Amino acid sequence: MDHQIDGIYQGFLRQAQTHPEKPLFHLPEGRTLTYSQVLQTSRRIATKLIGDGVVPGDRVAAQVEKSPEAIALYLATLQVGGVYLPLNTAYTGAEMDYFMSDAAPRVLVCDPSQTAAHVQRGKDGIVVETLGAGGEGTLLAAEQEHTEVAQLRASDPGAILYTSGTTGRSKGAVLTQGNLAANCASLIQSWEYTEADVLIHALPIFHIHGLFVAVNMTLVSGASMIWLPKFDPDAVLESMPRATVLMGVPTFYTRLLSSQQLSAEACAGMRLFVSGSAPLLASDHEAFEARTGHAILERYGMTETGMNTSNPYRDGPRRPGTVGHPLPGVQVRIVDRESQASLPQGEVGIIEVRGDNVFAGYWNMPEKTAEEFREDGFFITGDLGVIDEQGYLSIVGRDKDLVISGGFNIYPKEVEGLIDEHPGVFESAVIGVPHPDLGEGLVAVVVPTGDDAPEETAILQALAGELARFKQPRAVRFVDALPRNVMGKVQKAQLRKQYTELFSS
């Protein structure tokens, strides 16, 4: 039902008015920023956005370093009814060109060092503003505070997050104000997150995990964050005595386990460790519990849906290798790929979800949107799962061709397309194989056109100019032919098996 929304911005505003002097950010140099200071900054940014012509529904794109001011920009965008479009700082020129032409934002906020790269966009009608890691740049130039708050409905778009597609072109998932608010409320309730919490924030803020799980929950519940520029195990361990919660991708936990400093004493003040975005190894879950006494709470989500399921905070065990039960307000079913019939407990099928958390559709792609929804409103996740007799969901694989490396998603199709353009390459298959640190590491299996295979370094160098670093393969292997089934489809499972030891040996 569409109704006027008590959204993320309203939740933050309430907290800022209730306890203006409470720290929202604890910064590395010992500085803090209070709720009231962040409110002021966001209102100054709102003045700037209004001056730039932003009206409700306009996209505000941000490719900026992690900073408190970047969160103020997110808040200002919500305040004026804009649609926030965060972009990975690793994206290169060609990737950015696509996002800018597809999303057609009113404003692009970039790092001051990148101004020259975006001059043309200014000429194309996008207003380019700058914001550096230290808060410098044009975005904070306005002194005046804009206080009016746009009145929005649950169905109004709040954000667009690009997620790569299996067919190559990235798709902009449109999340509504209602999606963001519903998922946030559900998580706050499930994990008993309160204003007494102090979160160690070490994730990037251009993804759903770092922004819509970690930051939204903190803003709305009036909690505080120890704000780290990036994940560093020593900095996380140093922060623990002052903190209560950590949210991370599995690589965070693998790296923490490698530290001698990780112990029950180091974690004594913590009440919750959350993992998600990629599968947490059951062995890491068990090793972490043995070392610290804390059972990591694993949950399952995606850009299009926010969080879907979670292991229990209180009532019941947190089971290694599972992602728990549906969150309040979320329905989950397992469906047979061919017949589309719902499957009983114990059978593996495609995970489908429905609820207020599920996005409105892909930006400018009605056909793609229609393809990924069932008629009864369930969204087809493309993940394969099974539900056990206690109702715990386990993710057992992916029906989509996707690699998750260190919590970042890579769609092989995009990388294969570029490798195939390289002189001397006939075709290629890009796969993910087990990687001790990143979970999965990217490998390109290449078939050369003739006897003279191109150099591995030449292929990698060509990709470096086109793709963000995390999408560039960690290894290239040359073969005479790719294994195919009778339908001519490349057998990636066979390739994964063949190269499974590549990074572990």
Interface ranges with ligand AMP (CB under 6 A): 163, 208, 276-279, 298, 300-303, 323, 381, 383, 395, 398, 404, 409
Instruction: Enter the tokens of residue 87.
Output: 């972009």
Out of 16, 73, 203, 295, point to the residue binding ligand MLC (CB under 6 A). Answer: 203
Out of 26, 209, 325, 333, point to the residue binding ligand MLC (CB under 6 A). Answer: 209
Closest approach of Cβ 471 to ligand MLC, in Å? 8
- What does 279 bind: ligand AMP, ligand MLC, none (CB cut-off 5 to 8 Å by kind)? ligand AMP
Looking at the DSSP bridge assignments, the partners of residue 302 are 306
- Beta carbon nearer to ligand MLC, 229 or 391: 229
Out of 7, 210, 385, 454, point to the residue binding ligand MLC (CB under 6 A). Answer: 210
CA dist 478 and 329 (Å) reads 49
CA dist 213 and 216 (Å) reads 6
- What does 405 bind: ligand AMP, ligand MLC, none (CB cut-off 5 to 8 Å by kind)? ligand MLC
Spatial neighbors of 351 by CB under 8 A, at least 6 apart, are 308, 332, 333, 334, 335, 381, 383, 384, 385, 393, 395
- What does 203 bind: ligand AMP, ligand MLC, none (CB cut-off 5 to 8 Å by kind)? ligand MLC
- Beta carbon nearer to ligand MLC, 45 or 302: 302
- What does 217 bind: ligand MLC, ligand AMP, none (CB cut-off 5 to 8 Å by kind)? none
CA dist 456 and 182 (Å) reads 48
Q: CA-CA distances (angstroms) from residue 332 to 309, 377, 477?
A: 8, 12, 39
Establish if 443 lies at the interface with ligand MLC (CB under 6 A): no
Closest approach of Cβ 250 to ligand AMP, in Å? 8
Closest approach of Cβ 448 to ligand AMP, in Å? 32
291-325 in b/e burial notation, b at 16+ Cβ within 10 A?
bbebbbbbbbbbbbbbbbbbbbbeeeebbbbbbbb
Q: Cite the DSSP H helix spans in 338-454.
A: 366-371, 412-420
Out of 408, 411, 499, 503, point to the residue binding ligand MLC (CB under 6 A). Answer: 408
Instruction: Enter the tokens of residue 393.
Output: 């969901």
Choose the binding region for ligand MLC from 60-68, 132-140, 341-349, 401-409 (rule: CB under 6 A): 401-409
Task: Select from 404, 434, 461 the least CA-distant residue to 163.
Answer: 404
Establish if 407 lies at the interface with ligand MLC (CB under 6 A): yes
Looking at the DSSP bridge assignments, the partners of residue 439 are 435
- What does 398 bind: ligand AMP, ligand MLC, none (CB cut-off 5 to 8 Å by kind)? ligand AMP
Establish if 251 lies at the interface with ligand MLC (CB under 6 A): yes
273-292 mask for ligand MLC (x: CB under 6 A)?
---xx---------------
Task: Select from 440, 451, 445 the least CA-distant residue to 484.
Answer: 445
Establish if 99 lies at the interface with ligand MLC (CB under 6 A): no
Establish if 302 lies at the interface with ligand MLC (CB under 6 A): yes
Closest approach of Cβ 116 to ligand AMP, in Å? 30
Establish if 191 lies at the interface with ligand MLC (CB under 6 A): no
Spatial neighbors of 380 by CB under 8 A, at least 6 apart, are 335, 350, 352, 372, 373, 374
CB-hemisphere CA count at 13 Å for 75? 31
Q: What is the DSSP string of 19-78?
A: -TTSEEEE-TTS-EEEHHHHHHHHHHHHHHHHHTT--TT-EEEEE--S-HHHHHHHHHHH
Choose the binding region for ligand MLC from 69-77, 106-114, 200-208, 488-496 (rule: CB under 6 A): 200-208
Establish if 211 lies at the interface with ligand MLC (CB under 6 A): no
- Beta carbon nearer to ligand MLC, 183 or 405: 405
Q: Cite the DSSP H helix spans in 165-281.
A: 177-190, 216-221, 233-239, 250-257
| Number of C-beta neighbours around residue 455 at 10 A | 11
Closest approach of Cβ 409 to ligand MLC, in Å? 6
Looking at the DSSP bridge assignments, the partners of residue 351 are 334
Establish if 313 lies at the interface with ligand MLC (CB under 6 A): no
Out of 59, 207, 285, 496, point to the residue binding ligand MLC (CB under 6 A). Answer: 207
- Beta carbon nearer to ligand MLC, 9 or 231: 231
Chain residues binding ligand MLC by CB under 6 A are 203-204, 207-210, 230-231, 249, 251, 276-277, 301-303, 405-408, 438, 469-470
